[in-house]
A and B are shown apart, each in its own frame.
Chain A
Amino acid sequence: MKKNKADPKGVLTGTHFLDGDFSLAEGALAAGCRFFGGYPITPSTETAERFSERIPRVGGVFIQMEDELGTMAVLIGASWAGKKAMSVTSGPGFSLMMENLGLACMLETPLVLANVQRGGPSTGLPTLTGQQDMMQARWGSHGDYEIIAISPDSPQECFDFTIEAFNLSEKYRVPVLVMTDECVGHMHEKVVIPPAEEIEVSERKLYKGPKDQYLPFKPDKDGIPPMVKAGDGYQFHVTGLTHDERGYPVINAECQDWCVRHLVDKIKNNADDIIQIEEDQTDSAEVVVVSYGISSRVAVRAVNKARKEGLKVGNLRLITVWPFPEKRIRKLAKDVKAFVFPEINYGQVVHELERCAGGQCKVVGVPHMGGGVHNPDDIYKVIKEAAK
């Protein structure tokens, strides 16, 4: 994997007081993103506004598209032209983007999409928080595919993880979702942006062989096919149809088997490299609280309260939500009495946790319908009950 130092032009080195939305934009610029397409939607618009102000001074393009359908399409086009491309949205826009998110997966196109989640369904709570698009992030477009989703819980992480999202996207030729929410998006905190030479950015692997022998979907030994840029003389073809290594459509079960397995396995087989989790006192725990995004900050308070009362409580935070850390959960499930999982939804990722726990321990969700974060005491009560 080719790693470079960040281009200093895009890096706003210093200590800032920024909200999460602004930090998403700064992270992208630091990662080398020079193309932003988007459509305004609360509570994510500040990212687009920041981009539109910053990118003319950095060298790149900002375009406000006519809708989110066109937004995803414009990103894929820009990515094949060689740009690192990004957009940001929230629930209703996310739904429209599912169409071409599928195309991005099918064409194995690197790009980053942030979802500053709000309460749903439908127009729901435009200005208030939610974590209700987590299953849509995993399964929202039709067909079988794998995707990467990362969940920051602070403006600093919005900066750091957007860089990480670009790096993973370039490495695995897959769209990466940054699943944050209204709370983090509108929260102002200290954000430290390091000097460019301390930021590592990954670049997509480019094909180097003879021009007439380029196969857009022939995996290298590492499972990832190298890319080329449009306009470099390879005369390549790509299609959203089921295709072979040449990128030519082949409409039969055998090719479908090869094509889908490749899209899924390139992520599944590299899960250990992709997945990041944070654990705290899980080894000796009887109850482990699992959480992601803003809910992980609320969970800490509940965990601390329970620990003060002598309960053996561990904390496991999903930085990467998709792919899900199946291996780790299976192992932990043998050693603990219960998992407790607060999410700002009626129960989404908890089902995946339950599947991986495989009946070896209790799994208790702590639902919150959205519009705010959990009261830590509500989580605490569930921990206490689960520890019995």
Chain B
Amino acid sequence: MNKEKPRHPVEQFLRMDRMPHIWCPGCGIGTVVTSFTEALRKGEMDLDKVCVVSGIGCTGRVAGYIKLDSFHTTHGRAVPFATGLKLGNPELNVVVFSGDGDIVGIGGNHFIHAARRNMDLTIIVVNNFNYAMTGGQVAATTPIEANASTSPYGNFEYPFSIPYLAEASGATYVARWTALHIRRITKSIQEAMAKPGFSVVEVITPCVTLYGRRNRLGDGLNILKYYYDQSEIQHNADPRNINISYQGKLIVGKFVDKEKPTFLDAMNQHLNKVLGDDYQKYGKIREDQQ
């Protein structure tokens, strides 16, 4: 009888035939992936119905390593692609896993509109403050004064605060953590996936090779520890007051967790009200929305 080799609990969620992955030593993305797989393990959900959609970039590669129905799409379009999956089959639990450049840079328009519609998606944004896959260019999230390959004299553009953008656009769940808040990320992802509505979990992660090196922030462990030490948990903090400044304090926590009908809830309720029996209901209607 063959004795099965003991396996790491994460392996069941990974395409082990694609290892080793492409991420740099000290990169924070792997930590977020581990938290995500922990959330899947603890979440007691039907994994067949969980889809992962990524755009382009370092974090865009996550979809390629996750052993679920997974889609590696185009730059910035992960959110509308995920919208298509969700609306095409409302039983799917769709997670967008991508980077800051993908989600709020090139994909910013899709992000705010999906939030406005309260599309039932979970968005995991890995924020490393720069475009890493292409060599560390300045991003929509780069703090003022931080150095990047296309802001060699330091950045002078105002950055987006992702939780503020999400909340202002209509998201029903918004949290932010640093990559070392492993259990808290896991819990937030669990909550976000269970939440019907547009949920956003931002994770501040070290980019050792580019952002870290260019700004002389030390090695991966140092940066990881530094972000953690700089963080202060303030649940329900007003998203207007949690901007990130260069090497400044990082306000983390769960900022938004509220109830609102999703796009499909609103569609079913409204069209049913207006059209009555002529309306062909679409997808399973949740009990609390009947």
Question: At the interface with chain B, which of A63-71, A159-167, A254-262?
Answer: A63-71
- B282 and A70: CB pair below 8 A? no
Contact A81 B275 (CB under 8 A): no
Docked pose: A69 CA to B67 CA in angstroms? 28
B92 located at the interface, meaning its Cβ lies under 8 Å from any Cβ of chain A in the complex: yes
- Could you tell me the distance between the alpha carbons of A241 and B63 in the complex, rounded to whole angstroms? 12
Verify A74–B81 contact, CB threshold 8 A.
Answer: yes
Question: 1/0 per position for B47-83, CB-CB distance to A under 8 A?
Answer: 0110101000000000110011111111011011111
A57-B278 CB under 8 A given contacts A35-B87, A230-B51, A237-B64: yes
Q: Which residues of A in the span 34-67 have a Cβ within 8 Å of any Cβ on B?
A: 35, 37, 56-61, 63, 65-67
- Interface check A238, CB cutoff 8 A: yes
- Choose one: A9, A37, A58, A235; the contact of B69 (CB below 8 Å): A235
- Closest partner residue, chain B, to A246 (CB atom): B17
User: Bound state CA distance, A37 and B81, in angstroms?
Assistant: 11
Q: Which residue of B lies closest to A236 (CB)?
A: B69
> Given A35-B88, A237-B70, A240-B72, are A77 and B48 also a contact pair (CB < 8 Å)?
no
Assess whether A230 is in contact with B87, with CB atoms less than 8 Å apart. Answer: no
Q: Are B80 and A70 in contact (CB under 8 A)?
A: yes
Say yes or no for A233: interface residue by CB 8 A criterion.
Answer: yes
Residues of A within 8 A of B113 (CB): 65-66, 70
Say whether A103 contacts B64, CB under 8 Å.
Answer: no
- CB-CB under 8 A for A77 and B282, given A237-B15, A237-B63: no
Contacts of A230 in B (CB 8 A): 51, 69, 85, 88-89, 92
Contact A103 B84 (CB under 8 A): no
The interface residues of chain B lying within 8 Å CB-to-CB of A11 are none
Complex Cα–Cα for A236 and B70 (A):
6
Distance in Å: Cβ of B272 to nearest Cβ of chain A: 9
Q: A75 at interface (Cβ–Cβ under 8 A)?
A: yes
Q: How far is the CA of A74 from the CA of B81 in the complex (A)?
A: 5
B68 — nearest CB in chain A belongs to which residue? A235
- Chain A residue contacts of B51, Cβ below 8 A: 230-231
Chain B residues positioned under 8 Å from A223 (CB to CB): none
Interface string of B267-288 (1 = CB under 8 A from A): 1000100010011111000000
Instruction: Report the nearest A residue to B83, measured CB to CB.
Output: A74
User: B23 → chain A, closest Cβ, in Å?
Assistant: 15
The answer, yes or no, to whether A367 is at the interface (CB within 8 Å) is no
Q: Which residues of A contact B280 (CB under 8 A)?
A: 9, 56-60
Give the residue of B17, B48, B53, B79 whose beta carbon is less than 8 angstroms from that of A232. Answer: B48
B109 within 8 A of A: yes
On whether A63 and B83 interact (CB within 8 A), knowing A81-B89, A241-B72, the answer reads: yes
B91 at the interface (CB under 8 A from A): yes
* B110–A239 touching, CB < 8 Å: no
Q: Is the Cβ of A81 less than 8 Å from the Cβ of B85?
A: yes
Interface of A is mostly: mixed
A343 CB to nearest B CB, Å? 31
Asked if A353 lies at the interface with its beta carbon under 8 angstroms from chain B, I say: no
A151 to chain B, nearest CB (A): 27
C-alpha gap A262/B271 in the complex (Å): 44
Cβ distance B99 to chain A, nearest Cβ, rounded Å: 16
CB distance from A355 to the nearest CB of B (A): 32
Are the CB atoms of A70 and B89 closer together than 8 Å?
Answer: no
A229-B89, A240-B73 as given contacts; A76 in contact with B279, CB under 8 Å: no
Residue of B nearest to A66 (CB): B113
A79 contacts chain B at the CB level, 8 A cutoff: yes
CB of A377 within 8 Å of the partner chain: no
Which residue of B48, B72, B76, B88 contacts A81 across the interface (Cβ within 8 Å)?
A: B88
> Taking the complex as formed, is B18 at the interface, i.e. its CB lies under 8 A from any CB of chain A?
yes
Residues of B within 8 A of A59 (CB): 280-282
Does A140 reach chain B (CB closer than 8 Å)?
no
Interface residue ranges of B124-172 to A (CB < 8 Å): none
Asked, given contacts A233-B48, A237-B64, whether A77 binds B72 with beta carbons under 8 Å apart, the answer is no
Give the most central of B69, B72, B86: most A CB within 10 Å: B69
Distance between Cα atoms of A63 and B282 in the complex (Å): 13
How far apart are A9's CB and chain B's nearest CB, in angstroms? Answer: 8
Residue of A nearest to B72 (CB): A239
| Nearest CB of B to A191, in Å | 23
How far is the CB of A116 from the nearest CB of chain B, in Å?
A: 22
Least Cβ–Cβ distance between A61 and chain B, in angstroms = 5
Which residues 201-256 in A have Cβ within 8 Å of B in the complex? 229-241, 248-249
A81→B53 CA distance, assembly (Å)? 13
Q: A-B pairs with the 7 shortest C-beta distances?
A: A77-B84, A81-B88, A59-B280, A70-B80, A78-B88, A239-B72, A73-B80
Residues of chain A whose beta carbon lies under 8 Å from any beta carbon of chain B? 9, 35, 37, 56-61, 63, 65-67, 69-83, 85, 99-100, 103, 229-241, 248-249
Other A-B pairs, 6, CB within 8 Å; known A66-B80, A238-B72: A73-B110, A77-B85, A77-B86, A80-B84, A82-B89, A232-B48
